[in-house]
Structure 1
Amino acid sequence: MNASPVRWWLSGMVAVGIIYGAIPPVSAETETNPVTPGDVPGLPAVAPVTPVPPNSPGVQDFRNLPPLLAPVLPEENPLTTPTEPAQVDIKTNQALSLRQSLELAAQTNRDLQVARARIDAARAGLRQAQAALFPTLDFQSNFQRTESAQSEISGRVARINAVGGSVANVVSGSNEGASITWDGTLRLNYNIYTGGQRGGQIQQAQEQLRQAVLNGVQVAQELQLDVSSAYYDVQNADAQVGIGQSAVRNAEVSLRDAQAQLRAGVGTQFAVLQAQVQLANSQQQLVNALRDQRVAQRNLVQILSLGNQVAVTASDPIETAGQWATPLDQSIILGWQQRPELVVQLSQRRFQEAQREIALSGIRPNLALFAQTDYLRFYESPTGLDKGGFGQGYVFGLQFSFTLFDGGAALAGARQATANIAVADISYANVRNQVRFQVEQAFSDLRANEANIKTAALALEQANESLRLARLRFQAGVGTQTDVINQENALTQAQGNLVTAVLGYNRALASLERAVGNAPFNFANFARPPVSP
């Protein structure tokens, strides 16, 4: 195979689910057959793993995926809350592979949707900041009719003087004091130089968009790890149920053997009681395993943000997911090169540098251009002489401003931004150390579980053979029921150890993918990169 482990997960593992088989019952007339790992219910088949080299981020683009499993998709309106019990009853039980789970998560996960929305908001914020590169154009207009006592008297006097009429005739007139006007103003403003404030605000908006995209990448990587871990939890719960069922069957066989020997007069009531206690304990463990199975399945549904009436099961068999072929030292370098958390700190540093420029712009000169034109139209006046009059004017110029003293606010703001730059530098070094530790921890877990798989597989074969011999000895009368019970417990433990080792290996591999920053898909396809100034 020449695909990365993440791509291998996304394209493979589509085999049938865990099938709970039955271990042949052992009685006085039958002999126990050896049980291989693949024969035990829920137990993984240990197959040789193929080296798979890691790859760079951007494994697969899920934008054009066809709608998957329509019955399990959540409601369209996220504000919808069920109010009737029938609305939360489980109606769909969907078996999912790990690949299908990752694809569904890419479409339905709420955290990923929030990340996309924040990118859209940050992109709008950048466009808002870039609007300062353009001039503003304002228009204002007023249309009004005014009538006052003083203007009415003034109008009468003016008409008397103009036409030589009598006072009686003037008094009898109407609307002598009314005035109707329409005026408007058109103004253009443009900031030629802002002392670095405009450029700093645009730079901050660009960094906020960049950080939103990087946060989306982090969410996508965490989502891949969370979905994989939750899926492995479901597989583990299924395996524990299968192991519990196997333990119950073994305990039932032992109880039948003890009861048969008691009836034949070669056994004791004590052996029967021991077998009954063992069966009760196995049944209780099975009940707990079924509970854990339901919890694990609901946790996967919650991470996938599926509908309220959906339950999921794991369809993939439990098997190793691949092998990490990159040495530890190269894995550390890969993590430093690809982890978005480190780039976030660099972006935060540039954000604070822009903040320092904004602070210093308060004590730098500013130059602005303005131009304005206005007009006035009379439709009616108290004298009647201005009816139909129209006037227009304009003004333009440059405005220069400079703050001579601000009480030290600008310099204090600049010092604050400088201190925040130092914080970003220290945070970068701290995150870098955390990345190295996470890579080393996941790498160590991977190697340890790789060795545990071989040991657990061998121990399972030995436990199976020990149980077979213990039963033969008990049936022959040379062994005790305690020996059989101990070997049953040892077999159950060996089965669980193998499941734990295989799933622990897969979890470590998923954690290592997250630690080095291998993305499950190209999140940048959901969010265009920041626009260059």
Structure 2
Amino acid sequence: MKNFMRPSFLTILALGLIAGSVAQAQVGDGKPDPNYAVPERLDLQYALGFALDNNFAIRQAKERIREQEGVVLEVRSSQIPNVDASGGYQRNDEEIGNNGRDRAWSVNITARQVLYAGGGVRAGVRAQQLALDAAVLDLQSVINNSLFEVRTRFYTVLVNRERIGVQEQNIDLLKRQLQDVKNRFDAGTVSNFEVLRSEVALANAQPALITARNDYRLSIEEMRQALGFMTANEENMTKIPEFVGTLEFVNPVTYELRSSLSTARENRPDLQRLEKLLAAAEQGIIVSRSGYYPNVAAFGAYDWRMNSTGSSSFSNARDGWTVGLQTSVNIFDGRATKGRVIQAKSFLEQTRLATAESQLAVDVDVRRAISTLQQSTELAEASKKVVEQADEAVRLANARFSAGTATQLDVLTSQVDLTTARINQLQAYYSYNVAAAAVRRAMGLADELRPVSELPPVTK
């Protein structure tokens, strides 16, 4: 059983920033370079570090944060003085001018500061700041999901590579069996039917190998998509790295359901994001209600004006200060404010329902992940014994066949059983590794990245 402490929001934000710095230290400045070369060796940690900076979902989430930062700046502009300048110049016929003046110009600089707006300005800023916090949490959620996908794709490459090895071993066994039968046929100890049966068994094994090789190729392309790897280099388009790693099943992990559910409710970024949006929706009601209250602002202006005949010298201009207060209040706005309040309350309730729904979905996600992990662990443990027994069965069948106490069908059957057992073991190990990662993702725990100093350098 594993217990986890609840991290603060600042901790989550720091993790996101650290993840970004890891990616930048490994891959660059955050903008993918199409000239990156495919490395000779590719391990899981390298792939995770590369995806942090290049995965398209992560990059879009980062841009959403930048967009929300701009919204916060825009809304905060109402809290500080706004200064604008205006000017004008006109020239007209003296006959229609004022006292025969044929030209006029004016310059005005005005500063305006909102003093009271029914709490709408402050609530609007607070709502957008909460939305920014939600965007940061959304990034953490996207990172967790994207890195989980990278892990899964990497494990898929490994399992498909190992399946090729199993099928090749199976074909090698069948080839040796066919050669042995041919030798026996030449010696007159077996019939031509035994040779034909061995040839058919060898031919039937070929489609599985062809399929395994195709699955391996496709899994590499899916891995490329999960990484966000794009290149303009023709050599990199066909180059395949050596994938480093194996599907292991050593010291299987276990999680206690109650503590896992508690950890998920505290750590899942998507739940924390909804809580931020719920608080922002509450501020939205205040913004809508501000329409019932007057708006009071202070202003100060300085004007330069001149009406003249023939001359437009600044020395003839008149200038001076103007200061004052402005206020406005909606006496009747056609019930528009009431409509906005109703909308804000409904949006708050919808957000509250979405939060409750997501809470239930997270609980189910955790329960499903733990149950799948338990199943995968049991299958992996069972597969170990089956492979040992199947391997021993092949050895005994060959020995008995050589002694004349077993048929060739017994040998072929035992070989098929061994291949099936090995494939099942690979699938069980794959399922276990994916299930263990799925539990961590369901609990909202960050992916286990090695320190920057331990990651391999990116090849350019």
Class of the TM-score when normalised by the shorter of the 2 chains: 0.7 to 0.9
C-alpha contact 1:211 1:344 (8 A) present in aligned 2: yes
Counterpart position of 2:301? 372
- Cα distance change on mapping 1:335 and 1:223 into 2, 3 Å: same
The 3 A distance-change label for structure 1 pair 372 and 353 is: same
AA aligned to 1:117 is E
Distance 1:93 1:391, change over 3 A: closer
Name the residue aligned to 2:309.
381
- Give the distance between the partners of 1:460 and 1:226, measured in 2 at CA: 29
- State the partner residue of 2:326: 399
Does residue 459 (structure 1) correspond to residue 386 (structure 2)? The answer is: yes
Change (3 A) 1:244 1:377: same
Q: Which residue of 2 aligns with 1:135?
A: 81
Listed one character per residue, the Cα deviations across residues 274-329 of structure 1 (whole Å, up to 9, x for unaligned) are: 11111112122111111111111111111112243253442012213754344111
Say if 2:298 is the partner of 1:352.
Answer: no
Measure how far apart 1:477 and its partner are.
Answer: 2.5
Inter-partner Cα distance in structure 2 for 1:508 and 1:386:
83
The answer to which structure has the higher helix fraction is 2
2:212 and 2:419 map into 1 onto residues whose CA distance is: 13
SS in 2 for 1:188: strand
Correspondence list, 1:234-245, <5 A: 234-245=157-168
> 1:328 aligned to 235, 239, 257, which one?
257
How far 1:474 sits from its partner (Å)?
2.1
Aligned to 1:478: 405
Tell me, in whole angstroms, the C-alpha distance in 2 between the residues paired with 1:214 and 1:387.
57
Q: What residue is the counterpart of 2:188 in the other structure? A: 265
Q: How many correspondences in the alignment? A: 434
Structure 2 residue aligned with 1:20 = none
- 1:76 maps to what in 2? 33
**Residue correspondence of structure 1 range 508-523 to structure 2 within 5 A:** 508-520=435-447
How much has 1:124 moved relative to structure 2? 2.1
What is the match of residue 43 of structure 2? 97
Inter-partner Cα distance in structure 2 for 1:516 and 1:251: 47
Per-residue CA shift, 1:247-291, capped at 9, x if unaligned?
A: 110110111122112111121222212111111121221111111
Question: Does the CA-based 8 Å contact 2:285-2:341 persist in structure 1?
Answer: yes
CA distance change for structure 1 residues 504 and 126 in 2, over 3 Å: closer, same or farther?
same
Kept in 1: contact 2:126–2:283 (CA 8 A): yes
Which of the two has higher C-alpha Rg?
A: 1
Match in the other structure for 2:358: 431
The separation in 2 between residues aligned to 1:497 and 1:132, in whole angstroms, is 64
Distance in 1 (alpha carbons) for counterparts of 2:380 and 2:443: 24
Asked if 1:254 corresponds to 2:168, the answer is no
Q: TM-score, normalized by length of structure 1?
A: 0.75
The root-mean-square deviation of aligned C-alpha atoms, in Å, is 2.9
- Alpha-carbon distance in structure 2 between the residues aligned to 1:153 and 1:363: 45
What SS does the corresponding residue of 1:406 show, helix, strand or coil?
A: coil
Matching residue within 182, 188, 192 for 2:111: 188
SS at match of 2:240: strand
- Which residue of the partner structure matches residue 48 of structure 1? none
> Equivalent residue of 1:478, what SS?
coil
Question: Quick one: which of 52, 67, 70 aligns to 1:106?
Answer: 52
Residue 215 in 1 paired to residue 138 in 2? yes
The answer to whether the 8 Å contact 1:186/1:373 transfers is yes
- Indicate which of 117, 128, 143 corresponds to 2:63: 117
Matched, 1:294 2:217: yes
In the alignment, is residue 205 of structure 1 matched against residue 128 of structure 2? yes
Q: Per-residue displacement from partner, 1:379-412 (whole Å, max 9, x unpaired)?
A: x515x79995221244322222111122222122
Query: What is the TM-score of this pair, normalised by structure 2?
Result: 0.86
**In the TM superposition, what whole-angstrom CA distance separates every residue of 1:18-45 from its partner, at most 9, and x where no partner exists?**
xxxxxxxxxxxxxxxxxxxxxxxxxxxx
Q: Does 1:148 align with 2:76?
A: no
2:430 is aligned to: 503
**5+ residue gaps, structure 1:** 1-50, 78-86, 156-176, 523-533
* Structure 1 letter corresponding to 2:95: Q
**Distance in 1 between the 2:335 and 2:393 partners?**
84
* TM-aligned CA distance change 1:288 to 1:377, over 3 Å: same
| Cα pair distance change 1:478/1:486, threshold 3 Å | same
Change (3 A) 1:410 1:75: closer
Distance 1:153 1:227 in 2: 78
